């Protein structure tokens, strides 16, 4: 069966497998693998827009001098923007906005807090707060005031307080699934819980800040996706069509994912394509493949 992948065809380490906080329907079912979509069922909704990782096949839209173009250029330098589109051979519909992720960091030495240099970067290597799985914590949803992670001025501004933090969200990053349900959401003073959890790490709330600055709005860089890989695969994979599987076809189940052979998936896709009562939009067409796949050989000239 033929599949499409906007990225590497190698099995790579995935984030969020153990993250019980995430109710995301699309979080990976295994620690290693990659996402793809059946050929003919590609839905760009499932290709993340706004941010990318190292495994995405992307190319930044650049000016003639090599400078990365931003949303500001799109609006205020239309001639340069259109010239870049012509050089890349793409249409405006293919242009996407690239934004970076911002994480919760902390001041390591209260006596010598980091300062911004002339280029707007911290003069010390940021020390990031890690959750119970050892992963960096996203600033999104933790800082209640966007100014704390979208402007450089806040980095040298007022000290962070419990009013600037969503205490329940940040505290939950330090608690695994066996501990979090000991707390009653409506009657727990999460600021006290968070204070205790930070104290165990030798930290106080005022030491927290967000870095890097979340680039958004007109500062967001422009990029487009390179031509995706199209490949054949005939092994077993994960997908979301669990309701249409026959009992003998299901090999494993993990939350919203089901592990079957490609043959079983192909049967469901054919059935849904013929039936008007089962539109493809009711179930995401994404699949998750655990093993490496060889890229198709380039055609000979």
| Residue 168 buriedness (CB in 10 A; 0-12 / 13-18 / 19+) | middle
For the cut 70, the answer to whether the pLDDT of residue 299 exceeds it is no
List the one residue out of 215, 20, 248, 268 whose CA is nearest residue 102: 215
Q: How far is CA 185 from the centre of its chain?
A: 27
- Residue 214 to residue 118: CA distance in whole angstroms: 19
Q: What is the pLDDT of residues 123-166, one digit of tens each?
A: 888 889 988 878 888 887 788 766 665 566 555 556 778 788 88
Both structure tokens of 34: 């990659």
Q: Which H or E run includes 27? A: none
Alpha-helix runs per DSSP H in the chain? 71-76, 78-88, 147-150, 167-172, 177-180, 190-200, 262-274
> By percentage, how much of the chain surpasses pLDDT 70?
76
List the one residue out of 106, 108, 114, 110 whose CA is nearest residue 137: 106
Name the pLDDT band for 256 (thresholds 50, 70, 90): confident
For the cut 60, the answer to whether the pLDDT of residue 45 exceeds it is yes
Region 96-118: what's the mean pLDDT?
79
Per-residue pLDDT, 93: 84
For residue 281, the tally of other CB atoms under 10 A from its CB is: 9
């Amino acid at each position: 069966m033929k599949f499409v992948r906007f990225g590497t065809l190698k099995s790579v380490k995935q984030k969020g497998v153990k993250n019980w906080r995430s109710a995301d329907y699309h979080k990976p079912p295994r620690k290693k693998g990659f996402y793809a979509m059946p050929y003919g069922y590609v839905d760009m909704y499932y290709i993340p827009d706004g941010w990318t990782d190292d495994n995405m096949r992307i190319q930044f839209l650049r000016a003639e001098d090599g400078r990365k173009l931003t949303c500001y250029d799109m609006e205020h330098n239309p001639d340069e923007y259109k010239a870049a589109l012509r050089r890349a051979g793409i249409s405006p519909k293919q242009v996407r906005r690239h934004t970076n992720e911002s994480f919760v960091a902390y001041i390591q030495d209260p006596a010598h807090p980091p300062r911004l240099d002339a280029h707007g970067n911290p003069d010390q290597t940021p020390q990031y707060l890690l959750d119970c799985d050892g992963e960096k914590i996203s600033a999104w949803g933790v800082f209640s005031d966007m100014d704390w992670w979208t402007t450089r001025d806040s980095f040298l501004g007022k000290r962070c307080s419990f009013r600037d933090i969503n205490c329940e969200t940040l505290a939950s990053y330090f608690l695994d699934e066996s501990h979090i349900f000991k707390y009653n959401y409506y009657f727990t003073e999460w600021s006290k819980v968070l204070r205790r959890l930070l104290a165990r790490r030798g930290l106080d709330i005022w030491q927290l800040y967000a870095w890097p600055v979340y680039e958004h709005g007109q500062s967001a860089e422009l990029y487009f996706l390179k031509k995706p890989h199209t490949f054949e695969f005939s092994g077993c994979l994960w997908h979301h069509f669990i309701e249409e599987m026959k009992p003998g076809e299901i090999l494993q189940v993990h939350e919203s994912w089901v592990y079957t052979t490609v043959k079983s998936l192909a049967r469901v896709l054919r059935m849904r394509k013929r039936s008007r009562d089962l539109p493809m939009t009711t179930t995401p067409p994404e699949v998750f493949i655990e093993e490496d796949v060889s890229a198709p050989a380039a055609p000979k000239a």
